[in-house]
A and B are shown apart, each in its own frame.
Chain A
Amino acid sequence: MPNNGPNVILRTVGLSKRYGRLLALDDLNLEVPRGQVYGFLGPNGAGKTTTISLILGLIAATRGHVEMFGLDARAHLSETLRRTGAVLEGPSFYPLLSGRDNLRIWGALSGGVEDKRISEVLDIVGLRERGRDKVRTYSQGMKQRLGLAAAILHDPELLVLDEPTNGLDPAGMREFRGLIKELGQMGKTVFVSSHLLSEVEQMCDHVGIVKGGRLVAQESVTTLLRRGEALEMRVTDPERAVQVLTGLDWVDSVKREDNRLVVEAPRERAAELSRALAEAQVYLAELRPREGSLEEFFLEVTGEGEPRG
């Protein structure tokens, strides 16, 4: 039975999908908190689009199920989809119709929307001026924005976006990220898949990382970044410093990188660390905090040399 807490809007339970001999998704257990922007990260071919297709009911799971809004998504497909907006990879439109008419059609399929609402969403995505032009005259970026307009047209609680910045230039990507952040601030839950780490780091509150069809990590971005925090230093006697620091119980690890030491320890204990070294006749030449990055974490959990584009 579905058992979603009030704070989980989307959950996958043991979700698996097999295409013949290929296991595209293996026992995926995602939890997307309500009102958060959730980044779904993974290299190409990791199973991101398969997961989204399963969430949206476009394909059937081999095993497991999806729960949305506390309901079994497969059993209540129409209801759950009416509360969801989605932008699939490479959004599709009727090229011979204007952007406004396309939205009218999608609105009619979602139970009908007023012209005023169409103008509102065109405003949100910055397409008001071009709303009456045929979609075939739109650039890729404009089509992506129209896709987002179509997704938010019926004011859904949950937005599912599959690689929404694909094909956009850097300025378009930044603009799109801004739009997604704005939607998050408006209280919408956004589930966005991407293979761009910096993008996810900048706009998401939570992140799930998938590799080879398996979920390898799922945490809040703040926790992940904090986990990567460290103190970087140069000292007069590195050998002795390593001995001293490894003896401190609040130091997680000490690594040597060239002539520097990277110490995994809380930043706020930097003064204590300095004193401990000084007491052992080791003096600091340089001490600075090092920020954690999603990229480091991603590479660590996926074992990828370089995240593929």
Chain B
Amino acid sequence: MLAAELLKVRTRWMPYVLLLPVVAALAFQTFFGYFAIWRHDRDIEGLHVAVLPWSLPSLLDLTQFLGAILLAILASSLVGTEHGWGTVRQALIRGQTRVQYLTTKLLSICVLAAIGFLLVLGLGILFSVIVTAVEDRPITLDLPNGDGPSLGDVALMVLRAAYAMLPYVLLAFTLSVVARSTTLTSASSSTGASTMPSTCRVIRFSTIAI
């Protein structure tokens, strides 16, 4: 069943198109940060967003932020279009229960999200490797003061970023199952994904201030 779900997705253009803005944003952050901010302005921030291993947190932050929005759009599209095409009933009359159908759908979205996330992150690291080589620095996790992250730390950072995207995927999935609308769900979940972190930050600071 999972294979059938992945076959459906593989032939759609949407997942590929959604990867493009994240890859473009990562490329912009890395190359603009390095050439414009560090090489031109000599601002150390530019070096930190572009060169390994400092660049890892910014790569993950950007991937997580854009990934949450785009995954919400993808999840709602994958569920909503099935309702639009009427193919849900076709699945149900083949002996699949609703629970099986939804679980498979959610699993396939998670598999896609994992593949997309790792692919984008890989490309982001590749951009950083290129810039690090141009800067003529060693490609390593070690910092000059010997205080770089360990491989375990990096793995934890990656998992944390993936975990942070999960609620938005689940929100989009649930809304599209209930509302059966791609547009409504994409709009509401991606708005949620883009505004939720700052909203939470505002609430947190307000609470501290009070």
Residues of A participating in the B interface, judged by any CB pair closer than 8 Å:
56-58, 77-79, 81-82, 84, 86, 88, 90-97, 101, 104-106, 108-110, 150
Contact = CB atoms under 8 A, between A and B. Distances in A.
A148 B3 CA distance: 23
A244 to B, nearest CB: 59
B4 interface: yes
A96 B11 contact: yes
Interface string B1-15: 101100110011000
A94 B97 contact: no
B150 interface: no
Nearest to B11: A97
B204 interface: no
B85 A92 contact: yes
Contacts of B96: 78, 109
A173 to B, nearest CB: 22
Interface of B: 1, 3-4, 7-8, 11-12, 85-87, 89-97
A130 B87 CA distance: 21
Contact of A110 (B12, B89, B92, B94): B94
Given A78-B97, A82-B95, A110-B95, A92 B7 contact: no
A93 B7 contact: no
Given A101-B7, A105-B7, A109-B4, A92 B90 contact: yes
B90 A108 contact: no
A121 to B, nearest CB: 15
A82 to B, nearest CB: 4
A81 B94 contact: yes
Contacts of A104: 4, 7
Contacts of A79: 95
B89 A92 contact: yes
Nearest to A150: B90
18 contacts: A56-B93, A58-B89, A79-B95, A88-B89, A92-B85, A92-B87, A92-B89, A92-B90, A93-B85, A94-B85, A96-B12, A97-B11, A101-B7, A106-B90, A108-B3, A108-B7, A109-B1, A109-B95
Contacts of A97: 8, 11
B142 to A, nearest CB: 48
Contacts of A93: 85, 87, 90
Contacts of B95: 77-79, 81-82, 109-110
Which 6 pairs between the two chains have the least Cβ-Cβ distance?
A92-B86, A108-B4, A81-B95, A78-B95, A109-B94, A82-B95
Nearest to A56: B93
Contact of A86 (B8, B86, B93): B93
Nearest to B81: A94
A101 B12 CA distance: 12
A91 B87 CA distance: 8
Contact of B93 (A81, A95, A101): A81
A95 B87 CA distance: 10
Given A94-B8, A108-B3, A57 B92 contact: yes
